[in-house]
Chain A
Amino acid sequence: MSGAQALIEALKREKVEYIFGMPGGANLPFYDALWDSNIKHILTRHEQIAAHMADAYGRVSRRAGVCSATSGPGATNLVTGIATAFADSSPVVAITGQVPRGMTGRNAFQETDVVGVLTPVTKYTLQPLSAADVPSAIRKAFHIATTGRPGPVLVDVPKDVQQETAEVTFPESVEIRGYRSKAPLDPQDVERAADLLVRAKRPLLFGGGGIRISDASQPFRAIAELLMTPVVTTLQGKGTFPEDHPLSLGPIGMHGRAEANKLVSECDALLAVGVRFSDRSTGTFSEFCKDAMIIHIDADPTEFNKNKAVNLHILGDANEVLVSLYSAITRRISKKGEDNPWLKRVNEVREEMKSIPAYRDSYADLSGPRIVKKMREILPPDAILTTGVGRHQMWCEIHYQVLRPRTWITSTGLGTMGFGLPAAVGAKLARPDVPVVDLDGDGSFVMTEQALATAVEQNIPLISVVLNDRSLGMVEQWQRLMYNRHYIGVKFNGSPNFVKLAESYGAEGRTVGSLDEFARVLKDGLSSQTQMVIEVPVSPEEDVFPFMPPGKGIKDTVYGPPKESAIF
Chain B
Amino acid sequence: MRASKILSVLVDNKPGTLFRVTHLVRLMRLNIEGLTLGVTNGGDTCRMTFTLNGDDRTVEHVARQLMKVIDVIEAHTYGPQEVTARELALVSLKKFDPIQFGEEERQRLNVIDRSTAGVVVQIVGTAGEIDEFVRRAGESNVIDIARTGVAALPKEKQNA
Quote the shortest CB–CB distance from B66 to chain A (angstroms): 8
- By a CB distance below 8 angstroms, the chain A residues around B27 are 120
Complex: A124 Cα to B20 Cα, angstroms: 10
Complex: A446 Cα to B68 Cα, angstroms: 36
State which of B69-77, B92-100, B105-113 sits at the interface with chain A.
Answer: B69-77
Tell me which of B67, B70, B73 contacts A123 (CB under 8 A). B70
- By a CB distance below 8 angstroms, the chain A residues around B73 are 177-178
In chain A, what residue has the closest Cβ to B74? A178
Complex: A179 Cα to B72 Cα, angstroms: 8
Complex: A119 Cα to B24 Cα, angstroms: 11
> In the bound complex, do residue B19 and residue A116 qualify as a contact, i.e. CB atoms below 8 Å apart?
yes
Tell me which of A119, A144, A301, A302 contacts B23 (CB under 8 A). A119
- By a CB distance below 8 angstroms, the chain A residues around B11 are 178
CB of B56 closer than 8 Å to a CB of A: no
> In the bound complex, do residue B70 and residue A179 qualify as a contact, i.e. CB atoms below 8 Å apart?
yes
In chain A, what residue has the closest Cβ to B64? A302
CB of A306 closer than 8 Å to a CB of B: yes
In chain B, what residue has the closest Cβ to A180? B67
**In residues 43-73 of chain B, which contact A (Cβ within 8 Å)?**
61, 64-65, 67-73
> In the bound complex, do residue A178 and residue B12 qualify as a contact, i.e. CB atoms below 8 Å apart?
yes
- By a CB distance below 8 angstroms, the chain A residues around B61 are 306
CB of B16 closer than 8 Å to a CB of A: yes
Quote the shortest CB–CB distance from A413 to chain B (angstroms): 15
Tell me which of A177, A178, A306 contacts B69 (CB under 8 A). A178
> In the bound complex, do residue A124 and residue B70 qualify as a contact, i.e. CB atoms below 8 Å apart?
yes
In chain B, what residue has the closest Cβ to A124? B70
Q: What's the dominant secondary structure at chain A's contact region? A: mixed
> In the bound complex, do residue A300 and residue B68 qualify as a contact, i.e. CB atoms below 8 Å apart?
yes
Complex: A177 Cα to B11 Cα, angstroms: 10
Interface residues of B (CB under 8 A from A): 11-12, 16, 19-20, 23, 27, 61, 64-65, 67-73
* 5 closest cross-chain pairs (CB), A and B: A302-B68, A179-B70, A178-B73, A124-B70, A178-B70
Sample 28 A-B pairs with CB under 8 A, ordered by A number. Answer: A115-B16, A116-B19, A119-B16, A119-B20, A119-B23, A120-B27, A123-B70, A124-B70, A144-B70, A176-B70, A177-B12, A177-B73, A178-B11, A178-B12, A178-B69, A178-B70, A178-B71, A178-B72, A178-B73, A179-B70, A300-B68, A301-B67, A302-B64, A302-B67, A302-B68, A306-B61, A306-B64, A306-B65
Interface residues of A (CB under 8 A from B): 115-116, 119-120, 123-125, 144, 176-179, 300-302, 306
Extra inter-chain contacts (17) besides given A302-B65, A306-B65, CB under 8 Å: A115-B16, A119-B16, A119-B19, A119-B23, A120-B23, A120-B27, A125-B16, A144-B70, A176-B70, A178-B69, A178-B73, A300-B68, A301-B67, A302-B64, A302-B67, A302-B68, A306-B61
